[in-house]
Amino acid sequence: MGLLHEQFNTLSDASSAITSSRFFDRIQAVLAQADIRINGNRPWDLQVHNAKLFTRLLRHGALGFAEAYMEGWWDCPQVDQLLTRMLKAELSTKLGGINRLRLALSAIKYTLLNHQTEQRAHIVGEVHYDIGNDLYNRMLDPTMSYSCGYWQQATDLNSAQIDKLDLICRKLELKPGMRLLDIGCGWGGLAEFAARNYGVSVVGVTISKEQKRLADERVAGLPVTIKLQDYRSLNGTFDRIASVGMFEHVGAKNYPTFFHTAKRLLKTDGLFLLHTIGEEQTSHRPEPFIDKYIFPNGNVASRKHLQDATLGHFRLEDWHNFGQDYDLTLMAWAENFQRAWPELDANYSQRFYRMWLYYLYGCAAFFRSRRGQLWQLVLAHPQRTASYRCPR
């Protein structure tokens, strides 16, 4: 959602001296370039309920736009289509006046400071993953997979997630008796699947108390251990390592430590699969809405980030991109969430409902516009001599 941030900051940084009507005209003209109308009658048109929206955009940019949606200041029949059109039109490249100083200060803040230290690792667990297993039980599929499904042959969310889990196991060449480490194991979906179907023992680590509680229940009776622990404090050796949807919480300043730790834990003939969201271009600041409300201290890696961080630690065996599948996954989550809302609304506010939909639809737009990628990297220990053929 980074480009959306730039687009509305472009608008918000316009001179505060211009009148509201002229600013309205400016926004209307810019949105027209993405074929979006204010108060139009098409599914992607912006419906404005509070005329103060434009002033809010002027003052608070992308974050103000998101918060205005949370508060009911505007609506759209298909928010995902609205945001996708904005991203595809690359409106920021057609406007001047970006406040370079403010953006530079934000980038410097996230470049100089380590927001994902071991002492701060628990924050995202408490803010996001611990908000309620009731929500995730209803939004996710039965495997409780909170990452991109694999839709090459699947026609529903559960099949896509099972196919993704099986793809990971096949890429890792799992065999009975192997020991697998799952860094960022979530609710134990991969650990359970690998133990049941591939005969391996698994150690999974999470920084979420609620994830561990439910994961422990799901893997009862299986050779699986779930630990509430930061990856940096792990010890032991493993035949295989997987990290699925966790790398987004590592942070650029910790990439060397992350890959050094994985190499230290992996046997010399081992394989490591990394499943992560990525971007082609390197960004030094998070999207403001996602950082404030969804994944505090998160960071999406660029292709250069991964290339630089893995060199010297691992040999690259395969790099697989199926980011378009995340659009399908997110839209399925949004459908499940909306369907389950009557059962959830007693525990969550209407503001939360709109915030959560904006998150899911905004992320779907990020991948649908092809700004966002979903990468699976298969990395080999540098001392591994066996040949490798990656399945699809």
Mean pLDDT of 199-205: 98
Which pLDDT does position 106 carry in this prediction? Answer: 53
pLDDT of residue 298: 85
The pLDDT score that the predictor gives to residue 297 is 82
Q: Per-residue pLDDT for 117 more than 90? A: no
Instruction: Round to whole Å and give the CA distance between 240 and 227.
Output: 17
Residue 95 is predicted with a pLDDT of: 38
Q: Is the dihedral angle over the CA atoms 167, 173, 176, 179 positive or is it negative? A: negative
Written as one letter, the residue type at 4 is L
Quick check: 283 pLDDT over 60?
yes
Confidence tier at 9 by pLDDT (50, 70, 90): low
What's residue 5's pLDDT? 53
When pLDDT is cut at 50, 70 and 90, the band that residue 22 belongs to is: low
What's the rounded Cα separation, in Å, for the pair 237 and 90?
47
Structure confidence at residue 7 (pLDDT): 52
Helix (H, G, I), strand (E, B), or coil: what is residue 216? helix
pLDDT at 98: 40
CA distance 251 to 385: 31
* Residue 120 confidence (pLDDT): 65
**DSSP alpha helix (H) spans, 208-302:** 209-218, 255-265, 288-289
How is residue 210 written in tokens?
């609620």
Rounded CA-CA distance 179/206 in Å is 18
CA-nearest of 146, 172, 151 to 323 is 151
Distance in Å from the first CA to the final CA of the chain: 28
CA-to-CA distance for 325 and 100, rounded, in angstroms? 34
pLDDT band of residue 110 (cuts 50, 70, 90) is: low
pLDDT over 60 (residue 322):
yes
Q: Which two tokens stand for residue 281?
A: 């271009």
The percent of residues above 70 in pLDDT, for the chain, comes to: 86
* d(C-alpha 125, C-alpha 286), whole Å: 18
The number of residues making up the chain comes to 392
Distances (CA, A) of 149 to 67, 163, 326: 29, 7, 7
Q: DSSP letter for 46, please.
A: B
Provide the pLDDT confidence category of residue 311 given band limits of 50, 70 and 90.
very high
Give the pLDDT mean for 366-377. 97
Query: pTM for the whole thing?
Result: 0.90
pLDDT digits (tens, 9 = 90+) for 145-197: 999 999 999 999 999 999 999 999 999 999 999 999 999 999 999 999 999 99
- What SS3 class is residue 184? coil
Question: Picking from 32-36, 155-159, 241-245, which range would have the lowest pLDDT averaged per residue?
Answer: 32-36
* Least confident segment among 102-111, 201-210, 258-267, 292-301: 102-111
Q: Which of 363, 276, 232, 287 is nearest to 110 (CA)?
A: 287
Q: Using 50, 70 and 90 to split pLDDT, how confident is the model at 361?
A: very high
Please indicate whether residue 134 or residue 8 has the higher confidence score (pLDDT). Answer: 134
| Average pLDDT for 365-389 | 97
Average pLDDT for the chain: 89
Active site residues: 363
Distance, in Å, from the CA atom of 138 to the CA atom of 134, rounded to the nearest integer, reads: 6
Mean pLDDT of 227-247: 97
